[in-house]
Structure formats: structure tokens, C-alpha cells
Amino acid sequence: MAFESSIQNTMTSFVDPVRTQILSIVAFFGSPIMAIFLTILVAGAFWLYHYRQISIWIVATQFSGDAVALFVKDFIQRPRPTGQIIKDTGFSYPSGHTFSTAILVLTILFIVVPLLKDQEVQVLVSVLAIIWLGVVAFSRIYLRDHYPTDVIASLLLALTWWTVMRAAYFAYQNRFANYKIKQTNKEKS
């Protein structure tokens, strides 16, 4: 609590109407609904280019991850900080904005960026994605919608969920490849 109080007290000195307006806009565009919308766009692009398994995996990772974050939020039921700058409803832990944005950014960094041909564009997209995640996370603390530990936990939960889903994807790929090999061998026999 001392850690969180010190950060919240420090944030109080930064509060001004212009920052509040900007970070309110960031919070809107960093919302779980917007992250889901952008995820569907990214997955749709993969689907159109016939990367169907990756497309399905991207959507499944975002949707199932958001469900896990919501479950944790409802299970823990941590109240939001007092003195919210812009009133938000629901519970505080973990931050849905931070979680959803982190899953989207991880998708961009590890699936989209490697497909970009220009190395400078790869770096630019990577840096912008990481900055976006940082600004969304900061907005949640600045607006007093979440405690700092809510945001940190959301990042860790998102990274953990990403790792679990990535492992599941590779396990599926290996199993599918082994199945195809067995089918091919049966056909040859």
C-alpha cells in the first residue's frame, strides 16, 4: 500500500485538464473493446492471406485472455482507487485496458512485425507498439482507475497468458504435423 500511495501521490501533482483530456482519449482507444476490434482486424488480414490457423489463434488468444482477466477481476473483486478523475465501474484488479492492450501488442511484436520486410519499419512499429502499451498503462494509473500493482499484474498476466497460448499453438502445430506424416505414410503403404 505504501508503494501504491507514493505513486498515486506523485501522480496528483501531474494532474491538469489537458493531460486528463489526452489520457481519457488514450483510455478510450486502449479499452478492451478497441483492442478486440483491432485484434479482429489483424486476424482478418491473416485470414484473407490464407493464414487461417494463425488468424484463429490470434482471436482465440485475445478473447480467451480477456475472459481470464475478467474471471480474475470478478474473483478478486478489488475495489477501484478512491478519487477517480473519470469515474469507472467494476473492479480494479487486474486492469482490463492494460491486459487487452498487452495481448494486442504482443501479437503485433511477435506475429506481425516479423512479416514486415523493411527493418526500419519493423523497429518503428515495435517502438510505437511498446510506447502505446506504456501510455495506456500510465493512463490507468493517472486517471486513478487502477492501482499501480493492478497495472503491473495485468502486464504479467498478459505475458503469462500469451506464453500459455503460444505453447498451445506450437503443441497443436506439432501434433497436426505428426498426424499429416502418419496419414501420408498410410497412403504410401
pLDDT digits (tens, 9 = 90+) for 45-95: 999 998 888 999 999 999 999 999 999 999 988 887 877 777 777 777 888
DSSP-derived letter for residue 71 is H
pTM for the whole thing?
0.82
Q: What is the pLDDT of residue 186?
A: 65
Domains and CATH numbers, the chain: 2-188 (1.20.144)
Which of residues 126 and 88 earns the better pLDDT score? 126
Q: What is the pLDDT of residue 156?
A: 96
Q: What percent of the chain has pLDDT over 70?
A: 87
For cell 493492478, what's the residue? 150
Q: Residues 129-149: pLDDT tens digits? A: 999 999 999 998 888 888 888
Sign of CA dihedral 122, 123, 126, 129: negative
DSSP string over 107-144: HIIIIIGGG-S-HHHHHHHHHHHHHHHHHHHHHHHHTT
CA–CA separation, 29 and 188 (whole Å) = 54
User: What is the mean predicted confidence (pLDDT) over 151-168?
Assistant: 93
The Cα-based distances of 96 to 37, 46, 90, 171, 178 in angstroms read: 15, 25, 10, 28, 38
Whether 18 has a pLDDT exceeding 70, the answer reads yes
Residue 183, all three cell numbers: 496419414
CA–CA separation, 100 and 169 (whole Å) = 19
Q: Which of 186, 38, 24 is nearest to 112 (CA)?
A: 38
